Amino acid sequence: MYQYDSIDKAMLADRSAEFRGQVARRLAGELNEDQFKPLRLMNGLYLQLHAYMLRVAIPYGSLNSTQLRKLAWIGRTYDKGYGHFTTRTNLQFHWIKLRDTPDILDALASVDMHAIQTSGNCIRNTTTDPYAGATAEEVDDPRVWAEAIRQWSTLHPEFSFLPRKFKIAITAAAKDRTAAKVHDIGLMLKRARDGALGFEVIVGGGMGRTPYVGPTIREFLPVNRLLSYLEAILRVYNRHGRRDNIYKARIKILVAALGKDEFARQVDAEWAKIGEDADLPDTELARIRGAFAATRFEVLPAQSEAFEVARAETPAFARFVRNNLKPHKKSGYGIVEISLKGIGDTPGDASSDQMDVVADLAQLYGQDDIRVTHEQNLVLPHVKLDDVPKVWAALAEAGIATPNINLVSDIIACPGLDYCALANARAISIAQHIAEKFRDPDRAENVGELKIKISGCINACGHHHVGHIGILGVDKKGEEFYQLTLGGSGAEDAAVGSALGPALPYDKVAEAVDTLVEVYLRQRQDGERFLDTFRRTGVAPFKEAVYADAH
């Protein structure tokens, strides 16, 4: 993992000191809320329905055990004993007091963490594949490039007041676990026939009111030209993105208005003028790459006896292995996914005690490496198969061994009306009702991969547009209604879902999902996922079933 040096640490200390001064001025009444708002938003501090919310950055979703324990401690000390992992792979504390925030930022800085650029119209946390460095599918380690972007984008003098927030995702595997095509910029690492590494650059994807799957504006950008090219994109956007309407200010609107070819032409013209001076020198790239070098893998047989015995003897462990254990590039190792989607729980929430358990397991069995996924789960990327039974047992003890990764109850949901001032409707309890419907794990496994995503309003923080089943909360004369969409995907087969029909009342949503699943089970052909069946049959059978039931 990347280790912060004295420069990285000094940046955080300076930032923390700056914010402490600003909070002191606010508490002393020298700044009113209007003046303070932009300053707190630069530090990830939101004022929500009930309290302040602090969003802590987890750069490219990567943590060590010391960091996770510190997050657990902050949750226990300053919040109600838990935190919420987000789709940007950050962590939110929802019950924070303003006067505690400078101390919290100092506590974060003590473990090389911060809340910089977790809000505001700037470049947000760059996300990447949670299996980076562990999957055989990748052509390069995407964290190298995510770290380069982290540094470049931190307190960027030109791009801290963009028309709107800006999100970048990087994947180096053909199977996209980052939703790259629905980001402001999606970078897909590729290897050319001659072995050279480059990025396919996708710009102007997004969700919100106007969802787009982003177009590719450059098929192959040599990797060492990344920063100058990003600078060109950001400059074109900073100068020409709309600022008159917050809902039309994302780069996707500019790209759609200009057309991708004209947008690409403007970027290329700017890029030519910027030149190579804006790129990172090879020495620095080599330094960053060195930080991610894998050194600690043992040479192990592909089969582990302890693992096979546990799998044969313990059906619950076997189920966990089927759903939560993913193949590792090294023989004798596995990638362990930890679901934060326990039946009846709030998607993405983890208690401080659970965080401590995961931190201990990472330290004991996982090379001190923990990842956060954009689907709001955690990952131990490097666990020996010999140790997987012990890891599973400890997770089960802590209540976080739910064997449902990618299944119907592995739901993304925004905080919704329970926390958020923007929401029209609850999202968390809808997720809980759906999960209840599929409590029987045999049935859930039989249904297979099914991605449900729920947003409490049109801002789409729950990514409903790219859910195989998407659920959007809307307000109808003061009542919570839900618009269902089908056929979306945030993965390599990205698509925006299409509406099923009229919105449904709160108490009919889980039932409708159940009906949709029944239709799928009747219609599916060999090996088809819900999404594949839907794409083959179209909306008709699904629509008919749901609205037949409703009448």
Partner 1 sequence: MPTLIELKDGVCKGVEDSFTHVADDAEIPDGDVILSLTRFQTDGDRLLSAGRRVGVRLEPHEEVEALAYDLPRLSVVAPAFPKYRDGRAYSNARVLSERFKFKGQIRAVGDVLREQAGFMARCGFNAFEPADDASANEWQAATHRFRHVYQRSSDAHAPAFVERAS
CB of 288 to partner 1, least distance (A): 9
Based on the shown chain and the rule CB under 8 A, indicate whether residue 156 belongs to the binding site for partner 1. yes
CB of 152 to partner 1, least distance (A): 5
CB of 14 to partner 1, least distance (A): 5
- How many residues bind to partner 1 according to rule CB under 8 A? 37
Based on the shown chain and the rule CB under 8 A, indicate whether residue 151 belongs to the binding site for partner 1. yes
Based on the shown chain and the rule CB under 8 A, indicate whether residue 76 belongs to the binding site for partner 1. no
Bridge partners, 191 (sequence order)? 197
Select from 1, 155, 394, 545 the one that contacts partner 1 (CB under 8 A). 155
Select from 158, 261, 308, 313 the one that contacts partner 1 (CB under 8 A). 158
CB of 149 to partner 1, least distance (A): 10
How many whole angstroms separate alpha carbon 382 and alpha carbon 1? 13
Segment (H or E) for 505:
strand 504-505
By the 8 A CB rule, do 512 and 539 touch?
A: no
How many whole angstroms separate alpha carbon 69 and alpha carbon 21? 27
> End-to-end CA distance of the chain, in Å?
56
Based on the shown chain and the rule CB under 8 A, indicate whether residue 116 belongs to the binding site for partner 1. no
**H-only helix segments in 314-351:** 315-324
**φ, ψ at 499 (rounded to 5°):** -65, 140
Query: What is the separation of C-alpha 143 from the centre of its chain, rounded to a whole number of angstroms?
Result: 15
Select from 277, 440, 442, 526 the one that contacts partner 1 (CB under 8 A). 277
Select from 125, 127, 154, 178 the one that contacts partner 1 (CB under 8 A). 154
Select from 38, 259, 399, 505 the one that contacts partner 1 (CB under 8 A). 38
Based on the shown chain and the rule CB under 8 A, indicate whether residue 520 belongs to the binding site for partner 1. no
How many whole angstroms separate alpha carbon 42 and alpha carbon 35? 12
- Residue among 149 and 484 whose Cβ is closer to partner 1: 149
Give the x-and-dash track for 204-233 against partner 1 (CB under 8 A). -----------------------x------
Q: Taking CB under 8 A as the criterion, which residues in 287-316 touch partner 1?
A: 287
By the 8 A CB rule, do 106 and 115 touch?
A: no
Question: Closest by alpha carbon to 220, among 189, 255, 258?
Answer: 189
Based on the shown chain and the rule CB under 8 A, indicate whether residue 243 belongs to the binding site for partner 1. yes
- Residue among 284 and 493 whose Cβ is closer to partner 1: 284
Collapse the DSSP code of 306 into the 3-class scheme (helix H, G, I; strand E, B; otherwise coil) and give the result: helix
Q: What angle do CA 323, 483, 460 make, to 5 degrees?
A: 70
Alpha-carbon dihedral angle through residues 178, 182, 187, 188, given to the nearest 10 degrees: 70
Question: Closest by alpha carbon to 173, among 192, 190, 197, 195?
Answer: 190
How many CA atoms, within 13 angstroms, populate the side-chain half-sphere of residue 293?
8
* DSSP code at position 247: G
- Residue among 144 and 379 whose Cβ is closer to partner 1: 144
Based on the shown chain and the rule CB under 8 A, indicate whether residue 280 belongs to the binding site for partner 1. yes
Of the candidate spans 67-75, 146-154, 169-177, 307-315, the one that interacts with partner 1 by CB under 8 A turns out to be 146-154
Based on the shown chain and the rule CB under 8 A, indicate whether residue 125 belongs to the binding site for partner 1. no
Footprint on this chain of partner 1 (rule: CB under 8 A):
5, 7-8, 10-11, 14-15, 17-18, 38-39, 42, 121, 151-152, 154-162, 227, 235, 238-239, 243, 273, 277-278, 280-281, 283-284, 287
